[in-house]
Chains A and B, each alone.
Chain A
Amino acid sequence: MVKLKSNDDKEFEVEEAAVIQSEMIKNMIEDGCATSVIPLPNIDSKTLIKVIEYLNKHINMGKAAETGEEDDLKEFDEQFVNMGWEELFDVIMAANYLNIHELMELCCQSAADRLKNKSVRAVREMLKITNDLTEEEEQEIINDAPWAFEGPEIDDTVN
């Protein structure tokens, strides 16, 4: 078992087989730096619980494909990313920090799916972007590809 500590001082025990899906922790274990508790100063307990849930479910990825549990895993993944926007960002940042490739793929794809049909105004709000383009610059970009700004799928809501 490997012990992980979140930035709000909560400790979690995870099986080594599960936790080594994180390249970062795998390297620490190989270098013999994981003998006691591993502190994770960038991750809060709420996010860490989600990440551990994912790691535990994906522990036998290779076996799942052989035994036909692949669909189960797909369903789990779909359910897993069904979370709030802010929460998704926290998991993405944790996955990036811990270097968990598959989790990163899954969450970034989910973020992209949520953003793809959004209007410029909605994305600015969702990503907290301050617009620093002048109106002329903005118009130039629109004139360059007016088709990108038209279409029934474009969604101005923020969620």
Chain B
Amino acid sequence: MAKKRKSTSTNPTILSQDITIEIFSRLRVKSLMRFKCLSKFYNSLVSESYLVDMHQRHSMSNHLGEIKFFVLDVEGFYSTEVKKGGKVSRCNLDFRYDDLSYANGRFIVSFDLKTENFKTITLCNALRYQWRRDYKLVELKGKLAIQKRSSKSVKLWILGDPHREDWKSYTICFPPHLKNIITYKIFSCCDCYDVTNNSWYDVTKKRWKYLKISSFSVTDWIEENIYTYVKCLFPLKKIRNVS
């Protein structure tokens, strides 16, 4: 029989909660899932939305201002790093996708790498039976979203709670100077019409931002898109439990 230990809700460590969050948000998912076992405090901390949010940001930008992108060319995906001084390095990834997502018009089929199970998420009414190739699945601040681009705006359907399958729709209009550019796709709200001049929409601050990449050494192998790079979708559990 297991012994009942005294329970406490206070942080029992030598560090303050703020600093603990700062450090833990830099850990990978595997470590975080393991450290839920440290104590009651850590078990709840790892599930807290603030930590999840910070974890997202840190996995998207490596420490000290380095930004990672996925770049697609005809051969597959490459990972590219932009460092503070504008220097860009490139490394090849040993995998290849033809398409990131697929849906049959009623469901999104997801595959969980850890449990090796297929799950389905029902689409909202507005999207059902209308699935086309220009509808893209994206990850937005830890949430799953579908986006469709028109000449003047991007329409987003964001899946709030995977359990209840509640989709909310949003429309983001392009700033005036981008309205003429209609040939390129948008991924994760990152719009790339020229690989060295990028604009993307910041969903938190609700405004468009611009990024100029200087000294980009290779240009001929880039097809058309820049992807934001996320090491992991977090939390994994929420998606896994959808039936």
Hey, which chain A residues are within 8 Å of B26, CB to CB? 108-109, 112
Given A105-B64, A132-B5, A141-B37, A147 and B84 touching (CB < 8 A)? no
Q: Are B6 and A132 in contact (CB under 8 A)?
A: yes
Give the interface size class of chain A.
35 or more
Count of chain A to chain B residue pairs whose CB atoms are closer than 8 Å in the complex:
115
State the Cβ distance, A106 to closest chain B Cβ, in Å. 7
Q: Are A115 and B37 in contact (CB under 8 A)?
A: no
Q: Does B106 contact A (CB under 8 A)?
A: no
Q: Does B31 contact A (CB under 8 A)?
A: yes
Main secondary structure of the interface of B (DSSP, over half): loop
CA of A147 to CA of B7 in the docked complex: distance in angstroms? 27
Hey, which chain B residues are within 8 Å of A135, CB to CB? 2-3
Name the contact of B2 in the complex, choosing from A104, A131, A134 (C-beta under 8 A).
A134
Q: Are A134 and B23 in contact (CB under 8 A)?
A: no
CA of A151 to CA of B84 in the docked complex: distance in angstroms? 34
CA of A108 to CA of B64 in the docked complex: distance in angstroms? 11
Interface string of B1-22 (1 = CB under 8 A from A): 0111111100011111011001
CA of A127 to CA of B24 in the docked complex: distance in angstroms? 12
CA of A110 to CA of B237 in the docked complex: distance in angstroms? 28
Q: Are B19 and A132 in contact (CB under 8 A)?
A: no
Q: Does A57 contact B (CB under 8 A)?
A: no
Name the contact of B23 in the complex, choosing from A115, A120, A142, A147 (C-beta under 8 A).
A115
Hey, which chain A residues are within 8 Å of B114, CB to CB? 145, 147
Q: Does A25 contact B (CB under 8 A)?
A: no
Q: Does A35 contact B (CB under 8 A)?
A: no
Given A147-B114, A148-B30, A131 and B38 touching (CB < 8 A)? yes
Given A131-B38, A132-B40, A104 and B5 touching (CB < 8 A)? no
- In the complex, how many residues of chain B place their beta carbon closer than 8 angstroms to a beta carbon of chain A? 40
Given A105-B63, A130-B12, A92 and B19 touching (CB < 8 A)? yes
CA of A13 to CA of B64 in the docked complex: distance in angstroms? 28
Hey, which chain A residues are within 8 Å of B109, CB to CB? none
Q: Are A108 and B19 in contact (CB under 8 A)?
A: yes
CA of A128 to CA of B41 in the docked complex: distance in angstroms? 13
Closest A residue to B35 by CB, please name it: A123
Q: Are A149 and B3 in contact (CB under 8 A)?
A: no
Q: Are B28 and A116 in contact (CB under 8 A)?
A: yes
CA of A131 to CA of B84 in the docked complex: distance in angstroms? 41
Hey, which chain A residues are within 8 Å of B63, CB to CB? 105-106, 109
Measured CB to CB, the residues of A under 8 A from B are 65-66, 70, 89, 92-93, 96, 102, 104-106, 108-109, 111-112, 115-117, 119-120, 123-124, 127-138, 141-142, 144-145, 147-149, 151, 154
What are 28 sample pairs from A and B whose C-beta atoms fall under 8 A apart? A96-B18, A102-B64, A109-B26, A109-B64, A112-B23, A112-B27, A115-B27, A116-B28, A120-B35, A120-B37, A127-B13, A128-B14, A129-B13, A129-B38, A129-B42, A130-B12, A130-B39, A131-B39, A132-B39, A133-B37, A133-B43, A134-B3, A134-B4, A137-B40, A137-B43, A144-B237, A147-B33, A149-B37
Measured CB to CB, the residues of B under 8 A from A are 2-8, 12-16, 18-19, 22-24, 26-31, 33-43, 63-64, 84-85, 114, 237
Q: Which 8 A-B pairs give the minimum distances between C-beta atoms?
A: A135-B2, A148-B33, A112-B26, A145-B33, A148-B34, A65-B85, A109-B63, A127-B13
Known contacts A127-B14, A141-B36, then 6 further A-B pairs from the complex at CB < 8 Å, ordered by chain A residue: A92-B23, A115-B31, A127-B15, A132-B8, A133-B5, A141-B37
